[in-house]
A and B are shown apart, each in its own frame.
Chain A
Amino acid sequence: MSSIKTKSSFGVAQVILFLSIAILVIVVAFPVLLILFNAFWVNDEFNFAGALEIIKEPQTFQALKNSLIIATGTTIGSTIVGTFFAWLVTRTDLPHKTFMKSMFLVPFMLPSFIGALAWKMLLSPNAGFINQFFIQHLGFTGPIFNIYSYIGISTVEVMYLFPFVFIQVCGALERMDPTLEESARISGAGLFTITRKITIPLVMPSILSGALLIMLYSMAHFGTVAVLGIENGIYNIPTLIYERIHQSGGSFDAIRTGTVLATVLVISAAIIIYAQRKILGSGHYQIIGGKSFRPMELKLRGLRMPLMIFCLAYIAFTIVLPTVVIFLVGSLKTYGLAFTFDNLSLDNYKFILFDYKVTRDAIFNSVTLGFTAAIITMFAGVMISYVIVKMKVRGKGILEFLGMLPFSVPGSVIALGVILAWSGQFGINLYNTVWIILVAYIARYMAFSLKANSAALEQVHDSLVEASRACGATMWQSLRDIVLPLVRPGMLAAFFLIFLPSLRELTVSIMLYAPTTRTIGVAIYTLNEDGETVISAALAGIALIIIILGQSVINHFTKKAGV
């Protein structure tokens, strides 16, 4: 009896496993291996010293240092901001906490390079609106703040990245057993002592894990540095890779430098991910309580109003102001005109949507690419997660290892790897077509899909499938009738987690685009580079609208589904 069962499932299981491995190898592992290979393998021999030489070159070394400086600044800033706001909205009697909480999550969906564009308009040393205002009207002799600086770049990144820490710490604080704090209180500790000695130490693992995520993201982040740094000669690793590949048109030297830099990124990412897993795995305290009361709230008393005003000011300054600037500039006839009623119109938006081929193509490309990538990645992700989470087949270990790869490969690395893999050296040349961008998107977003789908699958108890098999259903039938309906929410989540970010993707597409295959992100960036500031801002405005609409649709659906 049992031998018949294994026999019938044997073929299917192996096929699924093989397919899963094949997808991850082709999409992620192969490009990454090519990068490592190109970085260390020169003229048919292993050449580690050569790679070191490249790192030691002044420009590359400076880019490494810059990545580290910016990432460190961003991480420290975001951790402080994120933890503080999380504590404020979960543990105090701040007014309008729910509203504040949802506002603090908004930066998650806003593309940071669009924010960077806005801040460039506001705070560039000479032309920035705020700087100009201070010089012209308040008698300042120079700019009050230069956004083209380490501090400027880090500050803008903090505005868009702090939600990573915020959301982790909020979650930890909300799940934390309130009696842990109450027993400190009955022991005689005041609320500030409790926060310092009990609350913060207990959520430290969450704080650190959020901080590491930000570190990883910032080191490999392209957009903000490209918009705010390059002008002042500040390159980080991804912008230098882009610069080299872009300028040289793919010369051997440029590729070599790119691969070495990418290798550094991959290694740092691996270290960061390892550290994060360590922290989350072993150091995570069991602080989740059983039945408990509402957590106690710190009475802010005299600070209540000032802190609320501070939060509102923060939201206005970091979220509302940049958004408004984008839309206003997008409505200007020409950049540099004053924001008077006469100078504002919707013409730019009309032009972009109906007349201008570059932007129309870009919107079309982004939507179709995003949709296709989301569909493919969603299905691939559910299959791979199924093998990893549910199936017991030999050779699964390889897949588990491969499944971790997508989490630790930054976008610019993927782009470079895809160029190496699909530019004809191996018989397939996708370079300069949309397909190469599609392949890269699939690799880039595989991690999201794996995460959402395995989370959904872990909810499906093994016995459900076993019960269905016991009822006489075949493996395929049980998958289709039992498992698929149960993981549908996970798949839907994966789809949106991919579709929305891909609409604003820049890091990967900027390395891979051809004149006819610009995406929205690329179009905004290149238009801005070409001095078409108002058109670029208008397109950014359209992108924001699409993203916000998309997000509302998701919120609507998830609320309805009760997720």
Chain B
Amino acid sequence: MSYVRLVNVTKRFGDVTAVNSLNFEIGKGECFSMLGPSGCGKTTTLRMVAGFEDLSDGEVWVGDRLLSSPKKNHYLPPEKRNFGMVFQAFAVWPHLSVYENVAFPLRIRKLPDSEIDQRTKEALKATNLLSAANESPDFLSGGGKQRVALARALAINPDVMLLDEPLSSLDPHLREEMRFEIKELQQKYGFSIIYVTHDQSEAMALSDRILVMKLGVVQQIDTPLNIYNHPANQFVFSFIGLSNFLKAIPQDGHVILPDQSEAVPMTLKPPDSLRDAALLSLASRPSEIDFTHMEDPAGLHGIVSRKAFLGEIIDYQIKVGDQVLRVQKGRRDPGPEPGAVCAIHFLRPFWYKEK
């Protein structure tokens, strides 16, 4: 089932370990995203798969083909790997027409002219570029250029498509549109995708599975839903979606706030495994907090300090002692005004140990 396989892949630049012992497997036709903050090693990983960067350690496989393995002194150069790749800055050749850009990989493979023409046209058609075939890519918009890059990668009918932040040079509207185009192309051609991005909504929308990475180390690999609903650790929780962290100190199976300004309701209990920690974080999503302006003894008390109308939602800031929580409610459900005392209920609290 697994098609692309990374085994203990490690990359060191001098003293810096950019990628640390990475393991994952991707199925045929799967869309796999790598997500993480800037500098966490996403691009480096992708470039190792492509063959632009050699490995310090580990192995890269596609099917039963070994691509890179420093231990076995094996390295297949990028031009032999038969991948499609799309770069952030498009990398469309300005001295060639759109048609010639797309035909380039086919010409390199010395295919017969008729086949080159047929496959180039097919790739252009799939990316809605047929009408621009003879133009210079310089006259295309950013989206147009990125389509040329996609068509060029599609032309060779690759088994694996590598995309490094392919949409981040586009404006937000176009970005959403292109997302679906990529997904459609994948469904039509059935290639596997490794998709690098630091935009979580992009990763969520596109991927079958997401890898979250931090400082070269994998944090979690799972489906978008599981990553959102069951984040493996505090980093993943904070990286995906909006988040609140309320500091709390365990005491007798319950918790108290560090400044002890408010009483924490007894129902808000950390799991038993975390009782011995010195400091805990109570993690919550702004949309998964409920609050009323009545003084409800069962809730945690706070004071509304800001209320901002953001269109569909209303964004609140609530002060709990010297800490601040962000809460979002639908606009149809107007809450209290600033200054009001309210009681807070966490709908889905997560507990993490503070280091």
Query: Contact at A188–B89, with CB atoms within 8 Å?
Result: no
Which residue in chain B gives the minimum CB-CB distance to A296? B52
Question: Smallest Cβ distance from A124 to chain B, in angstroms?
Answer: 46
Q: Complex formed: what's the CA distance from A8 to B77 in Å? A: 68
Confirm or deny: A177 has a beta carbon within 8 angstroms of a beta carbon on chain B. yes
Q: Given the complex, which residues of A lie within 8 Å of B153, measured CB to CB?
A: 186
Which residue in chain B gives the minimum CB-CB distance to A201? B95
Interface string of B120-158 (1 = CB under 8 A from A): 000000000000000000100000000001001100100
Q: Complex formed: what's the CA distance from A202 to B87 in Å? A: 18
The answer to whether A187 and B104 touch (CB under 8 A), given A179-B89, A296-B52, is yes
Q: Complex formed: what's the CA distance from A291 to B43 in Å? A: 11
Q: Complex formed: what's the CA distance from A210 to B95 in Å? A: 19
Question: Smallest Cβ distance from B13 to chain A, in angstroms?
Answer: 11
Q: How large is the interface on A (under 10, 10 to 19, 20 to 34, 35 or more residues)?
A: 20 to 34
Confirm or deny: A185 has a beta carbon within 8 angstroms of a beta carbon on chain B. yes
Query: Contact at B84–A186, with CB atoms within 8 Å?
Result: yes
Q: Given the complex, which residues of A lie within 8 Å of B85, measured CB to CB?
A: 182-183, 186
Query: Contact at A186–B93, with CB atoms within 8 Å?
Result: no
The answer to whether A188 and B79 touch (CB under 8 A), given A183-B149, A296-B52, is yes
Question: Smallest Cβ distance from A237 to chain B, in angstroms?
Answer: 36
Confirm or deny: A69 has a beta carbon within 8 angstroms of a beta carbon on chain B. no
Q: Given the complex, which residues of A lie within 8 Å of B93, measured CB to CB?
A: 180, 184, 198, 202
Query: Contact at B156–A180, with CB atoms within 8 Å?
Result: no
Not counting A184-B104, A187-B104, A187-B105, a sample of 8 additional A-B residue pairs whose C-beta atoms are within 8 angstroms of each other reads A177-B89, A180-B93, A183-B91, A186-B78, A186-B79, A188-B108, A188-B156, A289-B89
Of the candidates A186, A190, A293, the one having the most CB atoms from chain B within 10 angstroms of its own CB is: A186
Q: Complex formed: what's the CA distance from A204 to B82 in Å? A: 29
Interface string of B150-171 (1 = CB under 8 A from A): 0011001000001000000100
Query: Contact at A186–B83, with CB atoms within 8 Å?
Result: yes
Which residue in chain A gives the minimum CB-CB distance to B87? A179
Confirm or deny: A292 has a beta carbon within 8 angstroms of a beta carbon on chain B. yes
Interface string of B84-98 (1 = CB under 8 A from A): 110111010111000
Q: Which of A187, A286, A287 contacts B108 (CB 8 A)?
A: A187
Query: Contact at B89–A285, with CB atoms within 8 Å?
Result: no
Question: Smallest Cβ distance from B270 to chain A, in angstroms?
Answer: 42
Q: Complex formed: what's the CA distance from A179 to B78 in Å? A: 13
Please give me the 7 A-B residue pairs with the lowest Cβ-Cβ distance, nearest first: A187-B105, A179-B91, A285-B94, A179-B87, A183-B91, A186-B85, A188-B108
Query: Contact at A285–B95, with CB atoms within 8 Å?
Result: yes
Question: Smallest Cβ distance from A285 to chain B, in angstroms?
Answer: 4
Q: Complex formed: what's the CA distance from A177 to B89 in Å? A: 8
Confirm or deny: A136 has a beta carbon within 8 angstroms of a beta carbon on chain B. no
Provide a sorted-by-A list of 11 A–B residue pairs whose CB atoms are within 8 angstroms.
A180-B91, A183-B91, A184-B93, A187-B79, A187-B104, A188-B156, A193-B108, A202-B93, A202-B94, A291-B88, A293-B52
Confirm or deny: A300 has a beta carbon within 8 angstroms of a beta carbon on chain B. no
Q: Complex formed: what's the CA distance from A268 to B330 in Å? A: 74
Confirm or deny: A316 has a beta carbon within 8 angstroms of a beta carbon on chain B. no
Query: Contact at B52–A182, with CB atoms within 8 Å?
Result: yes
Q: Which of A182, A193, A204, A290 contacts B78 (CB 8 A)?
A: A182
Q: Given the complex, which residues of A lie within 8 Å of B104, measured CB to CB?
A: 184, 187, 189, 197
Q: Complex formed: what's the CA distance from A189 to B88 in Å? A: 20
Within 194-211 of A, Cβ neighbours of B (below 8 Å) are at 197-198, 201-202, 204
Question: Smallest Cβ distance from B136 to chain A, in angstroms?
Answer: 10
The answer to whether A189 and B87 touch (CB under 8 A), given A182-B78, A286-B94, is no
Which residue in chain B gives the minimum CB-CB distance to A193? B108
Which residue in chain B gives the minimum CB-CB distance to A197? B104
Confirm or deny: B109 has a beta carbon within 8 angstroms of a beta carbon on chain A. yes
Q: Given the complex, which residues of B lie within 8 Å of A201, measured CB to CB?
A: 95
Q: Complex formed: what's the CA distance from A185 to B81 in Å? A: 10
